[in-house]
Amino acid sequence: MVDQKKPAWVSFGEHVKGLRRQRGWSLGQLAEMTNYSATYHSKVERAVRAPKQGIVDAMDTAFSTNGALLRLWRDVERLESGSGWYEQSEEYEKEADEIRFFHPFVIPGFFQTEGYARILISHTVPMANEARIQRTIAARQSWRERLQTEGSLMLSVVIPELVLTQRVGGSHVMRDQLERLEKEATAEGITIQVLPMGLSDFTWTVGSFRLIYINDRSPLVCSEYTTGEHITDEAPQVRRLEVAYNKLQTWALSPDDSLEKMTEIKEAL
């Protein structure tokens, strides 16, 4: 019987074959280095068998891809299982040592109060019923709970001053939101910087993104868009947004001055 290809794994198999051929290895040589049979490797490359994590871990080590091959495998596995895009970044964030976040138009979801989040959801998804609104609010709250900065995680956020001055939901909603940010700004492992208005630099127009650093692996960048996000570890893209984030931090107020600015805006409401 002819083996049937698994469409979701074709690109992965071709990528693995490319890594092997770049090194001039035969299937037998790769099998010796990974302790998995040449037949198994052949089936993975031909996309007639979905690889298990064990063989991918072994290949990641043999190819010295520093976790990149394993991340690619996870993405394909989630796609095949029907998992949402948000579940992909969730797994990476659980392993992260550092996350850098920027959004040009709204306060980061993991720092949003229920009142602020409710207003945004009801305006961006006008047909959303109460159940959907509650699910989205709960997801943002659990996102913050997942970012355990009391441990080893460092969380850095740059927020434009314009975002803080927009009266989303009215003065009472924004006052609660700014109080939440003041509290977060003094929490262990968190750095919040305010990007002042009136700058001659327009790096903030780069859009919403976050950089995720996981131990000694290649950094990841998650670029957000209307219905999801794109995750990649491609060096040029990562470097471009690292440079952008460094510029944003350079133009932003210091953490202490940022806290004063947030308090000043709150008291003016």
| Residue 119 sits in the same domain as residue 43 | no
Per-residue pLDDT band for 192 (boundaries 50, 70, 90) equals very high
pLDDT at 85 over 60: no
Decide if 2 is inside a domain: no
Whether residue 239 is found in the same domain as residue 130: yes
pLDDT, average across residues 195-211 = 92
Query: What secondary structure letter does DSSP report for 67?
Result: T
Mean pLDDT of the chain: 89
CA dihedral 261, 153, 84, 237 (to 10 degrees): 80
Are residue 263 and residue 149 in the same domain, yes or no? yes
Q: Is the pLDDT of residue 37 over 50?
A: yes
Stated pTM of the model: 0.71
Q: Which of 50, 81, 112 is at the close of a domain?
A: 81
Q: Which residue has the higher pLDDT, 171 or 2?
A: 171
Q: Are residues 121 and 234 in the same domain?
A: yes
Boundaries of domain holding 253? 89-267
The distance from CA 209 to its chain's CA centroid, rounded to whole angstroms, is 7
Number of domains in the chain: 2
Name the percent of the chain lying above pLDDT 70.
93
> Dihedral, CA atoms, 259, 262, 264, 269, nearest 10 degrees?
-160
Please check whether residue 116 lies inside any domain of the structure.
yes
Tell me: pLDDT of 84 over 70: no
Considering the domain boundaries, does residue 124 fall inside one?
yes
Please tell me whether residues 174 and 148 are part of one structural domain.
yes
Task: Please state the rounded mean pLDDT for residues 190-197.
Answer: 97
CATH number, domain with residue 150: 3.30.870
CA distance 86 to 70: 18
Residue 165 and residue 55 in one domain: no
For residues 125 and 77, give the distance between their C-alpha atoms in angstroms, rounded to a whole number: 29
Per-residue confidence band for 79, with pLDDT thresholds at 50, 70 and 90: low
How far separated are the first and last CA of the chain, in Å rounded? 73
Mean pLDDT lowest among 15-19, 133-137, 190-194, 229-233: 229-233
Same domain for 50 and 166? no
Final residue before a domain boundary, out of 60, 81, 102: 81
Q: Check whether 164 has a pLDDT greater than 80.
A: yes
Whole-angstrom Cα distance, residue 185 to residue 177? Answer: 12
pLDDT at 119 over 80: yes
What gap in Å lies between CA 231 and CA 211, rounded to an integer? Answer: 10
Residue 24 resides in a domain = yes
pLDDT, position 83: 47
Token pair of 254 as six digits: 């210091």
Dihedral over alpha carbons 228, 106, 180, 120 (to 10 degrees)? -70
